[in-house]
């Protein structure tokens, strides 16, 4: 606290010193000019009367100079206070933000610069408050999602111990719940990585067609098990585009995984380059998405009928945000859901550090 007050005092003193220096230079020049005037008049006739007049004028001049100096110091002091007082207010407000005080202020300043700074601080408070609320909701939902499979595993394990359940069947259920838990933890870690403001990704030129085919190949076994085929509807054999390949691959993986869950017989994978953006489309031939569900499909932990963790599509949205793009869901005219991922790398920074 002492150092902070000292800095504030130094700010006032710097203003006073600067103004006083300007006044000193002005008075010094005035004295030099007055001395020159005396020398010029002293060479003329009636030297005695000229000297008396100059003397009286000099006294009046120096009295006026003294009064001006005192007035200047007083005015400068109040001016310094008018500058430092709003800075002190904004400083205290900034400290309250650091202590989780997320209430905006009603300060009003006459200076445009201070008013703009205050508006920026209030905007930051609103953003931090929204982020804090999202984080709290996220942890509450994550805790609930983690607790559900853990309780199931515990119940089946106790059933085996006390001989209440058939060991093989209970063990299979435990393995299924363990897989769900593992997938959930992986998704949680991934979404935390994406949301981490200190994580910087590198955009690089990648073959999006190859990424789409690789993602489909990774999930071919699951699709075959459900007798679902992949249909490729692509403009060219290769579409090279500057994007964050790791995130793009994960987004396509999640869209395909979601499509497999609801498709009946086929999933159509498309890729179109349109101007400065690229559209990756994943369409299934399922029953589509209910109208009341459409606005919520990308919300974290929102699970529709047959949903898994409720995180997969929210990860896709976060990845779209990283590319200054967006993702949308709609129903096709023939039935089935259509997810379109639009990537735009015009504003992506090429700093490579993960």
Average pLDDT, the chain: 77
- Give the model's pLDDT for residue 10: 54
Overall average pLDDT of the 107-121 stretch: 82
Q: At what angle do helices 208-218 and 245-262 cross, to 10 degrees?
A: 50
- Summarised one tens digit per residue, pLDDT across range 222-259 is 899 899 999 998 866 788 888 888 888 989 999 999 99
Contact criterion met (CB below 8 Å) for 59 and 94: no
Sign of the dihedral through C-alpha 338, 316, 180, 269: positive
Say whether pLDDT at 4 is over 50.
no
Overall average pLDDT of the 72-90 stretch: 75
- Give the model's pLDDT for residue 5: 47
Lowest mean pLDDT across 139-153, 199-213, 216-230: 139-153
The separation between CA 9 and the C-alpha centre of its own chain, rounded to angstroms, equals 35
- Give the model's pLDDT for residue 229: 93
Say whether pLDDT at 32 is over 70.
no
- Summarised one tens digit per residue, pLDDT across range 281-319 is 999 999 888 888 888 888 877 776 666 667 888 889 988
Where is 282: in which H helix or E strand? strand 277-284
Say whether pLDDT at 39 is over 90.
no
Overall average pLDDT of the 195-223 stretch: 83
Say whether pLDDT at 66 is over 60.
yes
- Summarised one tens digit per residue, pLDDT across range 150-178 is 888 888 888 888 888 888 888 888 888 88
Q: Which of 92, 89, 124 is nearest to 107 (CA)?
A: 89
- Give the model's pLDDT for residue 55: 60
Q: Which of 134, 254, 247, 143 is nearest to 194 (CA)?
A: 247
- Give the model's pLDDT for residue 199: 61
- Give the model's pLDDT for residue 270: 92
- Give the model's pLDDT for residue 8: 43
**Who has greater pLDDT, 170 or 131?**
170
Going by pLDDT thresholds of 50, 70 and 90, the confidence category of residue 34 is low
**Residue in the block written with tokens 């249909």:** 231
Work out the angle at residue 236's Cα, subtended by the Cα atoms of residues 235 and 242, and round it to the nearest 5 degrees. Answer: 100
């Amino acid at each position: 606290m002492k150092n902070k007050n000292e800095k504030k005092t130094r700010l006032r003193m710097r203003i006073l010193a600067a103004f006083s220096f300007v006044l000193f230079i002005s008075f010094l020049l005035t004295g030099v000019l007055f001395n020159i005037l005396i020398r010029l008049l002293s060479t003329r006739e009636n030297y005695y009367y000229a000297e008396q007049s100059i003397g009286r004028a000099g006294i009046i001049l120096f009295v006026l100079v003294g009064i001006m100096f005192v007035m200047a110091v007083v005015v400068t002091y109040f001016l310094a206070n008018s500058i430092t007082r709003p800075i002190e207010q904004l400083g205290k407000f900034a400290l309250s933000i650091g202590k989780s005080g997320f209430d905006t202020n009603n300060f009003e300043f006459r200076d445009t610069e201070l008013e703009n700074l205050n508006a920026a601080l209030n905007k930051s408070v609103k953003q931090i408050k929204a982020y804090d609320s999202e984080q709290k909701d996220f942890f509450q939902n994550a805790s609930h999602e983690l607790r559900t499979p853990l309780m199931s595993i515990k119940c089946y394990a106790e059933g085996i111990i006390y001989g209440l359940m058939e060991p093989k069947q209970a063990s299979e259920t435990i393995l299924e719940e363990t897989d769900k838990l593992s997938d959930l933890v992986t998704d949680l870690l991934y979404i935390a990585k994406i949301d981490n403001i200190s994580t910087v990704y590198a955009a690089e030129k990648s073959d999006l067609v190859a990424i789409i085919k690789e993602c489909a190949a990774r999930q071919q076994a699951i699709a075959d098990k459900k007798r679902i085929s992949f249909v490729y509807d692509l403009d060219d054999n290769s579409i090279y585009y500057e994007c964050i390949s790791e995130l793009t691959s994960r987004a396509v993986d999640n869209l395909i995984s979601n499509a497999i869950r609801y498709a009946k017989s086929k999933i159509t994978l498309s890729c179109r380059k349109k101007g400065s953006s690229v559209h990756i489309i994943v369409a299934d031939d399922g029953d589509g998405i209910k109208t009341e569900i459409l606005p919520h499909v990308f919300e974290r932990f929102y699970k529709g009928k047959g949903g898994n963790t409720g995180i997969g599509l929210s990860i896709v949205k976060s990845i779209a945000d990283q590319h200054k793009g967006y993702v949308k869901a709609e129903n096709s005219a023939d039935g089935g859901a259509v997810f379109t991922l639009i990537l735009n790398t015009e504003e992506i920074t090429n700093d490579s550090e993960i």
